[in-house]
Structure 1
Amino acid sequence: MTDTNLQGAADSFISHLVELRDRLVKASIGIALVCAGLFAWPGPSAIYDILAQPMIASLPVGAKMIATGVISPFLVPMKVTLLVAFMLALPWVLYQAWAFVAPGLYTHEKRLVAPLVISSSLLFMSGVAFCYFFVFGRVFKFINEFAPTSITVAPDIENYLDFIMSMCLAFGMTFEVPIVVVVLVRMGLVPLEKLKAIRSYVIVGAFVIAAIVTPPDVVSQFSLAIPMCLLYELGLLVAPIFVKATQAPDEIVD
């Protein structure tokens, strides 16, 4: 390779690094603006109150959560606000990622990536919403009703934050099952018929995963395993349509 080619490759690499830096800065600015808006209204305390509502509703009348750390009443609402800001700014963050990789893609590849980016973000947020609106209330009610009367249920806010973050992440990732199925089929890694044939194993695996990542109660385990199975079936239905819509010209056979 000549010196000219080496210089050209180095310049190209540096230009890509500069572009990546600019996209990361723009994504960070978007998150910061959303976070600033949330600090202005409704504020970290109100956001945490909304997030804590499923637990508060399941506690005895007048009961509240506790803070055992000195700075926990300040730090935990801040963490929650940053998390919510990131989720609200996720479309902007994904757009920046898309804008960075799009110039190097073929037309059929753009038809492949864009729907995956959009659908994966929507599915993840749908999983988080399902966990918050449907699962939390039932899980907390079951746990608190199971507790002996000699115990005063007063959850610590840091432990509560860790729990809901892990649960929301588990449900958000679970709702990505159709994307995984579509990618496996589209990339030719696993044939569609093979995925249909192992359906029974997937059902067993779904319940095993649910038993590992959720609390040891039937409600939360079924709430995770059943949607996982249904979303797997959705992926099997959507995969052939997606593959046909994103084929390159030389892949289409008459």
Structure 2
Amino acid sequence: MSDKWNRVDGGEVLWLAERDPGSITGFDVERGAPGSLWILNAMYEQETPAGGETHDERHRRMLDSGEVEPWRVGDWVETDTPGLTVPGGGLGWEGDPGPGWRRLRWRELSDRVGDPVVPMHMKPEHRYPSYHVFPSVKRNRSWPTSIQPPTEGSLDRESFRALMDVLRSYSGAETELFAHWCQCIADDFNVLEVYQGRLRDAEELELLDYQGSPANLWPIDRSWLVYTDWDLWGTKVSGPPELLSMNEDDDFLETIRLPLE
């Protein structure tokens, strides 16, 4: 736990709920706005790919051999759902898998296989960084084990830290900040989880007892908003053009403006 972030009244998030009512996966104050800047969650690829299994095939093989146990959530067991596919990738705080892996940019993979970075030809609700991307890479809806797909519902740790550096450069380290975890992350649909701290201590949010990064971050003057939807593979930054350009210029962050023309 962190002593730099204090739990505050959930009413601090109501200004977001008024502008994006009904959301339980994160609030977006500029839903559908042209030119929105999205940070694409990082993915990684084995430097020397081994074998041609998908994540689903590996899981089934290990399940059959007894190397892993079936997934369980409450009374549900994965064997209760025949045909369930393991796509690969994780939820929440993930990051660089370490030696033997390298960063794989979305645009590099797009150039390699011919799929768009974000599938703008699909239904409007699918035109975001999400599990719908790169269908040509997957087999039976599962990624190859040689690729660690982007995390869902949370910034990866390295992207989170890079974004915090950008925000500090723009707003200053002493800026007061609010962090909100959506009900899907907090696992309590009756409570609004909001904490207050300072930008200088943003990395300590990783120490709080949540599975992933906050669904929303904003300064006390509400001049910008970070939005990470629990169902997506990217994070939207809304704010002044200078801030958006600073994110685009960062060496680590990979960004895209949506919707594309």
TM-score, structure 2 length as denominator? Answer: 0.25
- Structure possessing the higher relative contact order (Cα contacts under 8 Å, 6 or more residues apart): 2
Larger strand fraction of residues: 2
Larger helix fraction of residues: 1
Bigger Rg, which one: 1
TM-score, structure 1 length as denominator? Answer: 0.25
